[in-house]
Amino acid sequence: MTVLVTGGAGYIGSHVVRALREGGRDVVVADTLRTGSRAAVPADVPLHEVDVLDRAGLTALAREHGVTACVHLAGLKNPGESMTDPGLYFETNTSGTLSLLRACVAAGIEHFVFSSSCSVYGVAETLPITEDSPLLPISPYGHSKLAAERVVEAFGAAHGLGWASLRYFNAAGASADATIGEDWGPTRNLIPLLAKATLGQREPVLLFGDDYDTPDGTAVRDYTHVVDLAEAHVHALDHLVGGGANTALNLGTGAGTSVLEVVRGLEAVAGRPVPVEFADRRPGDPPAVWADPARAAQVLGWKAARGLEDILETAWRWHSRGATSSGSSA
């Protein structure tokens, strides 16, 4: 089996490529390299600079490599940016997914694993969030991901494509050997920004909101190690190949961690203060989000094995090296 990984030169994508190869899969990567990095892709893995909107190009490369499964991670993922440029997000995340699915059908691809997001739930009415929680996005980013999920589901019904939509809860951390991680440049994610500021490579990090209805007033999230997330994609693909039912699943640890807890945890790992400043809340940011991952355990046999300390230690080791080999395209 050969697996096409879109966004495979990005942060999560590069870890997925590694996990698939460790599982014995052949892999081909499609990535524009706008936020990903060629250095994040192993030299013996074919890398094509193809946009997900290029249906003909995707169809051709899938046929060329005999692809039978696709893991789709290419996309944009900043809720705040989506509030000011919604068209960009619907074009990339929704129309891009539609374009890719058409290419998959044309090339005879049988299985499709989609990188979705907990943003499809919006502000949770109850916590933890289950797959049965209301789907009420509050940002164009969340709406673009939910719309893409609906397109995936429709293609499954119309064309017999096996699919799994994986709803991430805050990917973080880096590989244990510190060879791939989240890039310095394009990221807006909390932990790499904190690491960079702690190393004196940028100004203090703005923490958006200290007046949420949470224990310490800062937003609460479910930080999940990127290696755990990557392994979940392999489990999802194995599930589909083995004849498992189409499914949408939460990928998280089942525990919430506040922004201030992350700051204090990194200070303990780094052994130095983390420079931060508080700012007003950002539009599109819910106060608290964490997953109930029980269904992923039941359906895939997957459970996050790494906690916050593992996340912070691997992220700090990666950033302390001044590494720049991977971007953030998923």
Q: Taking each helix axis from N to C terminus, what angle separates 259-270 and 190-198, rounded to the nearest 10 degrees?
A: 40
Residue type, 294: A
| Contacts with 183 (C-beta within 8 Å, 6 or more apart), sequence order | 11, 35, 37, 192, 324, 325, 326, 327, 328
Q: What is the rounded CA–CA span in Å between residue 103 and residue 132?
A: 31
| Contacts with 89 (C-beta within 8 Å, 6 or more apart), sequence order | 76, 81, 82, 140, 141, 144
Nearest to 89 by CA among 101, 78, 99: 78
Residue recorded with tokens 């929680």: 133
Active-site position among 11, 89, 121, 141: 141
* 212 assigned to active site: no
C-alpha dihedral sign at 154, 157, 161, 166: positive
Alpha helices of the chain — where are they, by DSSP H? 11-22, 55-65, 79-84, 86-89, 96-107, 140-159, 190-198, 226-241, 259-270, 294-300, 308-320
Query: For residue 30, what are the β-bridge partners?
Result: 6, 48
CA-to-CA separations, 278 to 184, 270, 292, in angstroms, rounded = 22, 21, 30
Residue recorded with tokens 């290029």: 54
How many other C-beta atoms lie within 10 A of the C-beta of residue 280?
A: 10
Residue recorded with tokens 């109930």: 292
Phi, psi of 218 (to 5 degrees): -100, 160
Q: Which residues carry out catalysis?
A: 141
